[in-house]
Structures are given as structure tokens and as C-alpha cells.
Amino acid sequence: MLEPFLLTTCLSSTVQNMVCKLGFEIQDHFDIRKIVNEENKVCWSNLCENIVFSGQDLDYAQSVRQLGPVCEAVHKHITSLSDAEFEDAFGMYFQWTNNATLFLSVLDTIKSLNDAKISMSIMKMSSCLERSLGDVYLTVGKNCPFLLRDLLASSELVKVFSEPVMNILRIFLGSPESLNLRNILWHGFASPHEIPHKYCSILLLLTVGLGQIIETYFHENKLSLEHRPYFVFHNLEKMCIFPDLYDEELSVAEKLIEKSKFVLQHMKPFWIEAISAFRQRRYADCIILLLPQLETGLRLIFTIANKCPYRMLTAESAHLYTTFDEILAKQVENEFDNQVPQILGEPTMEFLWDFLNHQEGPRVRDHLSHGEIQLNKFPREVANQLLCFTVVLLSKHLETEHVLTQQDTSTLQPLIAATECYMSRFHPIALLQNQLLQCCESLRNWPIPSLSYFQQVTGCGEMSELGVTFIHEITYILSLLQLQKDDRFHIDDINSWLLTEKWFNNICTLCSIHIHNLYCHRRVLEAVGVLRKVVKQCILVSDNVLSISEARYKQWLDKTLRSRQRQNYLRMLSSIKALSLVLGLIVTLMVLDLHNIYKIAEQTPLEYNKYLRYAKSILQYTENLSTCTSVDKNRWNEAIELSQKNLLQIRIFIEKIVPSHTIQQNRA
């Protein structure tokens, strides 16, 4: 439970002065026609005259002070226009952003005087500008910087827009010493009432001005602006653990906003607007508002748990802000253990890492804040999951005097239960478990030829002895594994176990067991990375076999196989049983290694490196096997030779890790 922590702002005194005061100190009237001429062209030279330098460096404070009257004039001008006048004057100059509709809609938002919506518009515009400026960058350079700050400081954009224009953008968006509107909003430091509306208006006009420069520059240099494709969420069903939210749950959420210590008083308008956006099916808006507040609430937990209240505020320019990266880290300032995991619990931490941090996860905040998502196509499923999760956090940090009604508690129970039993889906360990299940399912579908079918196709009375030979070798390897006395690995009848329904059920059970994955050691991630590559190749081999066998069988029925193809088909039929057993063994080994991954990582450097070489030898085998079994290769004899060598390598390695006297007893 959070202790009372009264704050009226999350901005440090310097940042608050920069954002809320400096731009209002000069009250002079500024002629708008010096900035926007009669032809609605932005006069950058007049705008840039207000930039102030201190030696060679930008003086951000003085520049913000000088630009204050300019922003005021722009704000009055823009809000004096009707929607039609605004679109007629500026609409075409928003096209370069690939999201003109967003920028055109901001006028109504500014006129609404809704602080939360205006702040949200700045967040949306800044992320869209970042993405679009990155697209411009890629027309004249390579390897676009990931951070907006670095993008705005790049020589490539200076080449297109000029240094003074980029300095203007830095003053509003691009440095911790500046207004830094993007970061203080996206990281949940600024409350709605702290952001002057005129800064939303000036961003609109700057976007227009950039569009006008681009039009001229691209025409003169015969260039065209190509936009990178948007990020698309895949495997949405994999993310969904919570039930759908409807009016009853949303009403409880609105009550919790008023009662929970997780919500700072001055941030409530953001929370209320987020729920409203979800009700109105504006799912991107909901999450854009929600994520910074989730970060703020978790930062509050972080500062209390780790006894560092000063980190609740925006840091001065010489220090980093306390963001999700620090809040979810293992240690605080690389010295003390972070206490947040102790308070939140492992399932909650795994959810946060899954949705925010893991490279192969949805990384919702990164993609949204960097403008990589098409906002009008943001999926309800993702919004629903994040909102449900946040509602649970609200419920867990109620004020002492507030108690939910029995009905409200009952409404929240499914959400709480889903959170408490959450297991990672996007950590490399979890992804490996899913790959193993996928591989098993694929192997299960292999068309192992029956004796009668084999006789029918080949005209021979006996099947190849390869299967028998491989069974003998694999049985011996499995018996060695049995001797390791691993409780998770028990076989009643080794000779008839592999690739049976019992084997499949055993593997599925093992792959469903939760394996601790928070703050894995580098060695664990390295070993898991190799295992994932092995299983990926096994899946490729299985797909190859399934594809070829289906095609060849159809050709055989249609009697369209040429002589050479027929011989190749016979070789495949002779090999398929043996290959399936080898892949089944490899899957078994990968599952057992995964469950012993922490023991493997804790070995001496010498022993760990031996294991890594062994795992990479299996990877090399599976890579070669996927090549041999591909449609354009069909080298089945070579595949069998590779498999025999691989089994020998596996046996030698396992014999070394099983005590020799135990092996001798087993042979006896």
C-alpha cells in the first residue's frame, strides 16, 4: 500500500519555470503577419530572430522568453480561424506527415479548452512529427536516430531545413534544457493545467512551416518523400488474458480514480479522459493518456519503496529522468536492489516487461511515442489489456478510508485473478517454450509411412533398417538422460516412448511450467538464444518434410512422378522415420536443457563454454538438415549421414556429464 504522498506538481522548479512562466514574461504584442504572411507562408527568418545564444550554445531560457509573444500571436490567429479557413490555409502542408487528419483535428481540440485533450494533442503531434522527420532524414541519410533529440541534432535534417529551423524545434521538443514538451508529457511529469495552450498552436504552425520547406526542397532536388510502414500488432490473441471491459467495469474504474493513491490529484483529468476515450472507442487516445499515468503511478511506488522522493520530479538537464527503464530495473543506480518487484510481485512485473520492454513483445509505449502506430487502427484488444491491468493497480492502492462495495469487488475479481496468475509471453524463455510446442505439433503431423503403404509404393516387403538403427542409438541416449535422476523426466518404456501421445503430453506439460525469468543472467539469455535457433531450424525441417511429402504423395497418386523424382521419394520414405526420431530427441533435449538453464548458466566458465559448443553443434546440424530437406535440395541420404554424426556428438557429450560408474551399471 502506498503511503500518503502529496504533490501538486511533478516538474522541478527549473522545468516548471521554463514551461509555465518564461513564455509569459514578455507581454509585447507581436504582429502575426511577421510570422504568417498573406499567402499563409511561415516566415522562418522572422521566427528564428527570436533564438538567443550564449556563446556557441543555445540559450533555451532566453529563447523561450523571446518566443512567448510569438506563440501568443500564433495562438490567437489560429483560434480565430474556422475549421474551413484553417484547412484551406494550411491543410495541404500537413500532408507530409502522412497524418493530415490528426493535425487538422487539433484546432477543435484547442478551442475546446480541455487541458487534458490539448496535452494529448501535443503528445500525438510530437510523436507524428518524430516519425515524419525520420522519413525525411532517410531520403538524405541512412540509419535514422532512435531518439528525437538526436534526430533534431542531425546534419541530415539541417541539410533539408537549415540550422535555425532545427534550433526552433529543439527549443520546443528536443532537449532536457528546453521546453521538452514531448518528454515531460510522454513520461507523465506534466499535468494538464501546466501546459500552455499556445504551445499546442505553435506546434501546428511549425508543422505547416516544415511542410512548406519540404515542398520546395523536394521539388528542387527532385526527391519524393516515402513513409515507412506502420508497426502492426501481431498475435493479439497471445496478449489477451483479461475479459472485455464494459460499462460496469468502466464505472468501477471511474470510482477508483477518485479513491486510489496510485492517482495523483493533479493528474486526474488525464485518467478521466482516458476512460472517456475508451468508452468512445478512441483506443489509441485512451492508451496515449494512460501510459504516462501508469509511469507516474509506478514512479510514485518506486520513490517510496526506494526512499528517493526527489526522483518523483523531472530531473535537471544534467541527470536522467526516472522512467520505466529505471522503475523496472533490477537495481537503483547500480548499487541497491530495486524494491519495486517486492511490492508489485512477479506476475505484475512480468506483465510490465512483456508489454513495455521485451524486444519481441508489443512495446506499446515505444511504438506509440515514436509515431510508429497508425492511431485510427489501434486495436481494442491492446487497449483493453492495458486498461484492465491499470485498473487492478488502482484497486491495490486504495486510500485507507475507502472500501469497495461487494458488488464492485466482485466486478474486479476476474481482472485481479488474471493479473495474479500472469506468466510472461514475450520473454525469450517463454518464446522458446512456445516454439517447442509448435515444433511438437508439427512433428505430430509427420506422415510416417506404414508397412503396407511402403510396400505399395516401393514394391518391397521390408522397410529400411535406418529406423531400427536410429531407435537403438536414441534409446541409449534417453537411458542416459534417465540416469540423471531428473524428476521432470521419467519414461516408463524408453523403446516406445518418443513421438507418442504420451511424449507429446509430457512435453506440453513441461512447456507450460513457469520458469523464473526476471533479470536473467546474460549467460541464461545467451544459451536460450542458441536453443531458440535450434528449435527454429527444427520447425523449418518439419515444414519441409510436410510440404514435400504432401506434394510427392499427390504426384504419386496422379502418376506424374518422373523416374528421378520417384527415386528421391523412396529415399525420403526410407529416411522419414529416422529423421522424425532424431528431431523428437532434439526437442526432448531442448526442453530438459531449458528447465536446467539456470544450472547450466551457473557452471564454471569452462563447463559453460563446453555446453555452448555442444548446443551450437546441434544448431549447425539442424541448419544443415533444413538445407538438405528443402524443396530445391532433397538430399535425404546426406540428411541421414548428418543425423548419424549428430547422434554420436550428442551421445559423447551426455556420456561426459553422466557419471561413468552409472553408465557402466546401465550397460550391465
pLDDT in tens, 26-39: 998 899 999 999 99
pLDDT for 1 equals 42
- The answer to whether residues 121 and 142 touch, using CB atoms and an 8 Å cutoff, is no
Bigger pLDDT: 520 vs 567: 520
pLDDT for 482 equals 76
Helices (H), strands (E): how many in the chain? Answer: 31, 4
What are the start-end ranges of the E strands in 237-332? 331-332
Helices 605-628 and 563-595 pack at an angle, to 10 degrees, of: 160
pLDDT for 496 equals 66
pTM across the whole model? 0.92
Contacts by 336-339 with C-beta closer than 8 Å and gap 24+?
Answer: 336/306, 338/302, 338/305, 338/306, 339/305, 339/306
Cα(5)–Cα(10) distance, integer angstroms: 12
Which residues have CB under 8 Å from 560's CB, separation 6+?
none
Res 502 pLDDT > 80: yes
Distance of alpha carbon 453 from the chain centroid: 48
pLDDT for 460 equals 47
* pLDDT tens per residue, range 389-423: 999 999 999 877 677 889 999 999 999 999 999 99
Q: Distances from the Cα of 264 to the Cαs of 13, 271, 301, 388, 650, in angstroms? A: 18, 10, 12, 19, 59
pLDDT for 206 equals 98
Res 546 pLDDT > 70: yes
Mean pLDDT for the stretch of residues 358-375: 96
Helix (H) or strand (E) holding 25: none
Which of helix, strand or coil describes residue 555? helix
Bigger pLDDT: 449 vs 99: 99
- The answer to whether residues 177 and 60 touch, using CB atoms and an 8 Å cutoff, is yes
